[in-house]
Chains A and B, each alone.
Chain A
């Protein structure tokens, strides 16, 4: 495997964090979170320019905040609404 950069590791770590957080929810919420998170990450992986570090770092910070929110919140309703701060 190609060696991962620090930034890539952070992204994968965040992805793992989301999947872990999803596990602690009910089966239905879990599925919703997993499919939302997976499509977000895949979309960004496809569409964000690899060298656009500033934007990737911004997405990382935003994702980390959303993950913290997801961990504390009881339901996923606030999470599944399309993000207001988007693009």
Chain B
């Protein structure tokens, strides 16, 4: 019985929102809140991407966090090698829940390019 009640209680939720759907959607648009409500299909805020990329790179064991800027080049500025770069790009994939194809991943050699790629990727989250 408890289960049945729980299911019924749950089922009522979408019905209620459906009746209010038109008005609710309208007010979201008016307030430009639909951005924060949807889970994908719009881009992350660029500044947020920058902050998260920088913090992933800072937390990489071989990196001196003081040297990390949003423009920093992994090999020229941080003294990393190409294997380290692969590891960093993989860590960024995990942070933003992406899979970056090899061809693209090979090009990402700085925070700047990483931010660019991630900010333009529709599946970043």
Measuring CB to CB, which residues of chain A are less than 8 angstroms from any residue of chain B? 1, 4, 8-9, 12-13, 15-16, 19-20, 23, 38, 41-42, 45
Q: Does B21 contact A (CB under 8 A)?
A: no
Q: Chain A at the B interface: mostly helix, strand, loop or mixed?
A: helix
Contact with A along B37-79 (1 / 0, CB 8 A): 0000000000000000000000000000000000001011000
Say yes or no: A16-B105 contact (C-beta < 8 A), given A1-B75, A42-B83, A45-B83: yes
Interface centre among B76, B81, B86, B94 (most CB of A within 10 A): B86
B76, B86, B94, B102: which contacts A1 (Cβ < 8 A)? B76
The number of chain B residues touching the other chain, given as a range, is: 10 to 19
Please give 8 more A-B residue pairs, beta carbons under 8 A apart, in addition to A9-B106, A19-B90. Answer: A1-B75, A1-B109, A9-B102, A15-B83, A16-B90, A16-B102, A19-B86, A42-B83
